[in-house]
Structure 1
């Protein structure tokens, strides 16, 4: 069996959402199994608090003491887009806005997205996981730069529900 036939079989599996396939002929046996697709988590939780700044050198005057609330970053959904829903990272990995380096981003600010539409990719352990929107609406803000590492639950996009 040549690589073109194998690629065609894999593409058919993706298109039909088949998770397991075994093909046996007198010349060969091919078994393919894929893991369940990664589901996105949409949450309206505030962004994690920022790390406090390092202490200034001893020769400069220290600023007045501030409360932990003063050091916290404002929640992205409160200040940037009231009523928006966050699309968060369901896994730890590297965030990519485009399917390939020379391709257009999946979504841009102002684009309308449907529930289930791919909005980005997160690479984890050499696997590229498509992240889908779980809400229909308009992309109002991209919160992560292309190629940046992301943590589980980290907000990636703000979507204004439609």
Structure 2
């Protein structure tokens, strides 16, 4: 059990820090502290802009029609990707943490590209503060793409998987 001077010291440390909520448990005794914060904390996720890489092809034929075709093809590919992207459901991270694709390093991944999932299928684990949280698909369909690597840090709202519903 903590002594009163230890609790006072802990209160001072929490008061001086940016921590708003603290919980400590030892031998069945629980100490919970909350700062009196009236303001509502709102966090938003703004994905970092992705830099486009343009590939400039050197045409071997100098006709204008060939050059126009080279310039038009990437636009058509981008439009197809946007249309396909609109038909896909994104499974996003519900918290900040570390992404794990399998329950342990030597076990098989929960899901891979091409696997069928349903609403309650576990697709990965996100570890936050030493707690391993199983993430469910929440949609029925087929995994089209895994967007993060095993062990990668993920943000709240970051897309983890694309599912064709």
TM-score range, shorter-chain basis? 0.5 to 0.7
Please say if residues 81 and 160 of structure 1, whose CA atoms lie closer than 8 Å, have aligned partners that are also in contact. no
- The RMSD of aligned alpha carbons is 2.5
Shift of 1:78: 2.7
Give the gaps of 5 or more residues in structure 1.
1-29, 31-46, 54-73
- In the other structure, the counterpart of 1:123 is 127
- In the other structure, the counterpart of 1:132 is 136
Q: Which has the higher contact order (CA 8 A, sep 6+)?
A: 1
- In the other structure, the counterpart of 1:114 is 118
Q: Which runs of 4+ in 1 moved over 2 A?
A: 77-82
Give TM-score, length-normalised by structure 1. 0.53
Give TM-score, length-normalised by structure 2. 0.52
The structure whose residues are more often helix, as a share, is 2
Aligned residues: 94
- In the other structure, the counterpart of 1:100 is 104
Kindly name which structure, 1 or 2, has the bigger radius of gyration based on alpha carbons: 2
Give the gaps of 5 or more residues in structure 2.
1-27, 29-45, 53-77
| Alignment partner of 1:155 out of 148, 154, 159 | 159
What is the alpha-carbon distance in structure 2 between the residues aligned to residue 125 and residue 119 of structure 1? 20
- In the other structure, the counterpart of 1:143 is 147
The superposition leaves residues 24-66 of structure 1 with CA deviations (integer Å, 9 ceiling, x where unpaired) of xxxxxx9xxxxxxxxxxxxxxxx9242679xxxxxxxxxxxxx
